[in-house]
Amino acid sequence: MSQLKGTLLLVLVFFFLSVKGQDLMVLKSKNLKTDDSVLVYKPAVYDVKVKYPVVYLLHGHSSNFRAWPRLANLQGMADTYNFIVVCPDGLKKSWYINSPKADSLQYEDFFMKELMPKINSTYKTDKEKVFITGASMGGFGAMYLFLKHPDVFLSAGSTSGVLNLRYSGFKKTTIAYLLGPYSDDNKAFDEFSPVNRLESIKDLKKTLIFDCGTEDYLYIASNQFRKKCDELKIKATYITQPGGHTGTYWSKSIKAHFGFFAELANKG
């Protein structure tokens, strides 16, 4: 009887989320060696005959897939811009990468080979209008995946992103676990840093958006990223404004990213 009640509860929860325009997926991943929970927002008026742009929204360090819904009105933005919004779980400290350590997480493979195909097969997505953004660790992950796979994403964003891993407060802890002990000689910290991967899009006519608060400890890294974009003549919208490395800042800053993506999507 208790098992039946549990099953009915799960059905009711999924039904409630779906009615509200939200679906909760739990993907069993071979690349993560665990399950990943994914919250999906679709426009309230969802038409299976229409293809929708998709925004992948990545959370920060030590958080989970429910972080962004607490910071921003994702259903409102899905409705306003006619976007499908996907919030995967970054497993607190995955950094959204494939770790060189064979026994560690292979998050990039999960994202590209498991998550995206599942979203595309479940929903009516426009594969020519796929965007990705995030905050802090998620800002790093968004830019890293975009620069690694520019053929997949139309554009990307980062708010308070760790655009140079050598500036991160976690360089000697969770990043070191994935890339090896931090040192000047460990070049993996440079190879995985988005600021050093901008060359990959310099001739692709891609455009992107990123921002950082002036009181954020990553402000220097963001300015470094802006300078590199200028040197490579990459069209980038860079927003700097008062604010720290906080959820309060991200709840405001993310709105500009959705507006930016909407303009690109509407250009066709």
- Ordered by start, the domain boundaries in the chain are 18-266
List the beta bridge partners of residue 85. 41, 55
Sign of CA dihedral 209, 112, 150, 266: negative
Q: What percent of the chain has pLDDT over 90?
A: 89
Question: Helix or strand or coil: residue 212?
Answer: strand
Domain 18-266 part of CATH 3.40.50.1820: yes
The confidence score (pLDDT) of residue 39 equals: 98
Place of tokens 């990705």: 132
Question: For 93-145, what is each residue's pLDDT tens digit?
Answer: 999 999 998 677 899 999 999 999 999 999 999 999 999 999 999 999 999 99
Question: For 161-217, what is each residue's pLDDT tens digit?
Answer: 999 999 999 999 999 999 999 999 999 999 999 999 999 999 999 999 999 999 999
For residue 26, the surrounding DSSP H or E stretch is: strand 22-29
Q: In what order do the strands lie in the sheet with 125-134?
A: 22-29, 34-41, 84-88, 52-58, 125-134, 155-159, 207-213, 235-241
